[in-house]
Amino acid sequence: MSNFISALCAVGTIASIFIGLGALIVGLAGGYGLTYLINTKKMARGKQKAVKILEDAYAEAKTVKKEAILEAKEEIHKQRLEFDQEVKDRRIELQKTEDRLTQKEEFIDKKDLNLDKKQEEIDTQKKIVDEKLVKVNEELAKQEQIKQEMISQLEKVATLKKEDAKQILINSMVEDAKKEAAKLVKAIEDDANEQATKKAQNIVSLAIQKCATDVAGEITVTSVSIPNDEMKGRVIGREGRNIRAIENATGVDLIIDDTPETITVSCFDPIRREVARLSLEKLILDGRIHPTRIEEIVEKVQKDVDQTIKQAGEQAVNEAGIYGMHPELVKILGKLKYRTSYGQNVLKHSLETCYIAGLLASEMGANVQVAKRGGLLHDIGKALDHEIDGTHVAIGVDLAKKYKESPEVIHCIEAHHFDVEFHSIEAVLVQVADAISSARPGARRETLDAYVKRLEKLEEISNSFNGVEKSFAVQAGREVRIIVKPEEISDADAMFLAKDIAKRIEAEMEYPGQIKVNVIREARFSEFAK
C-alpha cells in the first residue's frame, strides 16, 4: 500500500513537471505571439510614419524647389535688368566717346586746313625772302666790290697797308655800333622806366594818400625839468641816498650837472628810462622824496607803464584791423611805444608800414591781411633787442615762431632787410612800405658823423672808376654828380659808367630811399682870333 502511494506520488510529480513544462511552452508561445503581434503593429505604424515623412519631405522639397526656382528667376531678372542698364550706360558712354572723337576729327581737320593755309603762306613768304635774299646778295656783292675799290684807293692815298686800313675800318664800325646800341638801349630803358615809374608812382601815391600819419616821429625825452636848483639837492638826498634809491629801483643812471633846472636820465632800455622819468616827475610834484616813497612811486609807475604798454599794443592791433594775435605778442608790440629808431617812433613806424603794405597789397591783388600783419610785426624784435642778443630781425622771427604766427608773416619779417630772398609778393610789399615810411622827409634823423661818412663814401666810389675827373655828392646824399674826361669817356661809355657806379653803390652802401647817379660829359674847345 505504501508502495502504491509512493508510486502515485511519483506519477503526480512527473505529471506536475509535464504540466509545468506545457504551461511554460504555452506561455512562451503566447508571449512570442503577443510580441510578434505588437512588433507587427509597431512596424505597420512605423511604415505609415515613414510614408508620411517621405510624403511631407517630398511636398517640402517641391515647395523648396518652387521657391528656389522663383528666387533664381528673380535673380536672373535682376541681373538681366542690371546687364541691360550697364549695356545702356556703355552705349551712352560709347556714343559720347564717338561724339568726342567726331569733334576731335573735325578739329583736326580744321587744324590741317589751317596748317595747309599757313604752309601756303610760309611758302609764299619763303619765295619773297628768297627773292630778297638774292637781291641782298647782289647788293652785298656790289658793296664788296665798292669796298675793295675803296681799300685800293685808301692804300694809294694814305699809303696804308690793307691790314691797317681794315683795322681802322673795324674800329670805326665798332664805335658806330656801340653808339647805336647805346642809343637803342637808352631808348628802351627810358620807355620801360617811364611806364614802370608811372605805374609804380600811381600805386604808391594812392597808398600814401590813403595813409594819414604824422610827418615826423617822436623823440624820446631823456631829461626831466625841475622847478629850481634846490630840488636837485632833495633828489640827491643826504649822502646821495635818494639818487641811489632811484637808480637801484629803476635801473637807470641819473646825471645831475650844472645844467639849470634839468636832470638827465640815461639808460639803453627805453621803458626803464620812461619809468624813471615818470617817477621823477611824480616825486618832484609830490615833494616827499625819501627811499621808501621812491620805491612806492616806482612800483606804482611800473604798473601804470605796463598797463599803458598793454593798451598801446591793443590799440595798435585794433587800429590795424588785425585779430587773433597772441596776447603776449600784443604786449611786446606795445613796448615799441617807447622805442625810437633815428628819432622815429617804432610803433608809429610799424603802424604806418602796416597801412602802406595793406594798401599796396589791395592795389596789386595780394593778400592784404598777410601784408598788414607782416608790416605791423616787421620791427617787433626792436622791443627786446636791449634784452636779447642778436639782430632785431632774428629776434622778431623767433618771437613770431614762438607765438604761432603763419609762415607767410614770418617770411615778411625775415626778408624786410634782404637777409633772405623774397618768396612772396607780400614780403616785397612789406619791404617797400618799410622803405617808404623810413625814407619820407622828416621821418628819421641821422647823426652828423654818419651823414658825412655817407657823402664821403659816395664820392670815393665815384672817383674809383677810370675816366672820372671829379665827383660831388649833393642833395643831402641823394644825388651824386660825376664829371668825366671827354677824351677818355664817350657818350656810350658814359651811360654804362652810370650803371656800373649805381650797381656798386647798391652793393656797398646802406641808405634810405634812392640815390641818383648823374654822369656829365662835356667837351669845350677854345680858339683865339688875332
Provide mean pLDDT across the span 62-89: 86
- Is the confidence at residue 217, as pLDDT, over 70? no
Interatomic CA distance for residues 124 and 111, integer angstroms: 19
Check pLDDT > 50 for residue 215: no
Residue 370: pLDDT over 90: yes
Q: Indicate the helix (H) or strand (E) that contains 260.
A: none
Ranges 23-37, 217-231, 342-356, most confident: 342-356
Residue given cell 617822436 in the structure block: 218
CB atoms within 10 A of CB 392: 21
Listed in sequence order, the residues at least 6 apart from 206 whose beta carbon sits closer than 8 Å to its beta carbon are 359, 363
Instruction: Give the chain's radius of gyration (CA, Å).
Output: 56
How do residues 445-454 score in pLDDT, each as one tens digit?
555 567 778 8
Quote the CA–CA distance of 287 and 322 in Å, as a whole number.
44
Mean pLDDT of 363-383: 91
Residue 309, pLDDT > 70, answer yes
Residue 408: pLDDT over 90: yes
pTM (2 decimals)? Answer: 0.50
Looking up cell 639803453 gives 268
At 219, the pLDDT band (50, 70, 90 cuts) reads very low
| CATH 3.30.300.20, the chain: domain bounds | 448-521
pLDDT at 171 over 80: no
CB atoms closer than 10 angstroms to residue 147: 12
In angstroms, rounded to a whole number, what is the distance separating the alpha carbons of residues 191 and 370?
Answer: 33
pLDDT tens digits along 229-254: 788 888 888 888 888 888 888 888 88
Q: What is the pLDDT of residue 414?
A: 92
Could you report the per-residue pLDDT of 105-122, keeping only the tens digit for each?
888 888 778 888 888 888
Which has more confidence, 377 or 32? Answer: 377
Residue range 130-159, pLDDT digits in tens: 888 888 888 888 878 887 777 677 666 655
Mean model confidence pLDDT for the chain:
81
What is the Cα–Cα distance from 368 to 376, expressed in whole angstroms? 12
3-state secondary structure of 255: strand
CATH for the 223-439 domain, from 1.10.1760, 3.40.50, 1.10.3210, 2.60.40: 1.10.3210
pLDDT for 156: 64
Grid coordinates given for 156? 694809294
The single residue listed with the C-alpha cell 658823423 is: 449
**Where along the chain do the CATH 1.10.3210 domains lie?**
223-439
Alpha helices, DSSP H only, in 378-418?
Answer: 392-402, 407-415
Using the predicted structure, report yes or no on whether residue 513 has a pLDDT greater than 80: no
Question: What SS3 class is residue 518?
Answer: strand
* Contacts made by residues 286-294, CB under 8 angstroms, sequence distance 24+: 289/234, 289/235, 289/237, 289/242, 290/237, 290/242, 291/241, 291/242, 291/245, 294/242, 294/245, 294/246, 294/249
Q: Is the pLDDT of residue 409 over 90?
A: yes
Least confident of 18-32, 240-254, 364-378, 385-399: 18-32
Confidence of residue 378 (pLDDT cuts 50, 70, 90): very high
Q: Mean per-residue pLDDT for 482-487?
A: 88
CATH topology assigned to domain 448-521:
GMP Synthetase; Chain A, domain 3 (3.30.300)
pLDDT band with cut points at 50, 70 and 90 for residue 218: very low
DSSP code of residue 46: H
Strand ranges, E, within 4-68: none
Higher pLDDT, 403 or 38: 403
282-291 mean pLDDT: 86
